[in-house]
């Protein structure tokens, strides 16, 4: 049974920002937007907060020492929420992986709901 992702509700828990080894890739124009959100110039932002991905295909955000995203504030909220990368905005409705149903409480709730109502209509095709 595929959960109905149109019913996804984010719990704002930040678990998806704390996945060790998770890469937040930056698309074109996003480093400028992130720099502006932090009140710094883009060059400084790139020097201080971005790295080349291990596969060298894009820039990624740096991590804190515990593996969480460096943009995650001490209050558990994203410091660049209004300008956060598309990869973050699109998770988990536009993309996710099987492990996301374990780590994301919003997806877990949908999966539980789907298990209770196995004959309900789903908005999504096979995953």
For the chain, helix, strand, coil in percent to 5 are 35, 10, 55
Looking only at the bridges linking them, the beta strands covering 50-52 and 25-26 are unpaired
Partners of residue 50 on adjacent β-strands: 61
- Given 60, 78, 96, 110, the residue binding ligand SF4 (CB under 6 A): 78
DSSP 12: -
Assess 86 for contact with ligand SF4 (CB under 6 A). no
CA 35 to CA 32: how far, in whole Å?
A: 5
Assess 11 for contact with ligand SF4 (CB under 6 A). yes
Assess 3 for contact with ligand SF4 (CB under 6 A). no
Choose one: 25-33, 41-49, 83-91, 118-126; the region binding ligand SF4 (CB under 6 A): 83-91
Assess 17 for contact with ligand SF4 (CB under 6 A). yes
Residues that bind ligand SF4 (CB under 6 A): 10-17, 24, 61, 69, 71-72, 78, 80, 84-85, 88, 91-92, 104-106
């Amino acid at each position: 049974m595929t959960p109905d992702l149109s019913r996804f509700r984010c719990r704002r828990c930040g678990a998806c920002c704390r996945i060790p080894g998770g890469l937040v890739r930056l698309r074109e124009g996003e480093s400028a937007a992130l720099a502006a959100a932090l009140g710094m110039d883009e060059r400084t932002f790139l020097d201080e907060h971005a790295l080349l991905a291990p596969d060298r295909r894009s820039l990624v955000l740096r991590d804190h020492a515990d593996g969480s995203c460096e943009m995650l504030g001490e209050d558990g909220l994203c410091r660049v929420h209004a300008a956060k990368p598309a990869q973050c905005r699109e998770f988990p409705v536009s993309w996710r992986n099987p492990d996301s149903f374990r780590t994301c409480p919003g997806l877990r709730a949908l999966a539980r709901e789907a298990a209770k109502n196995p004959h309900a209509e789903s908005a999504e095709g096979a995953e």
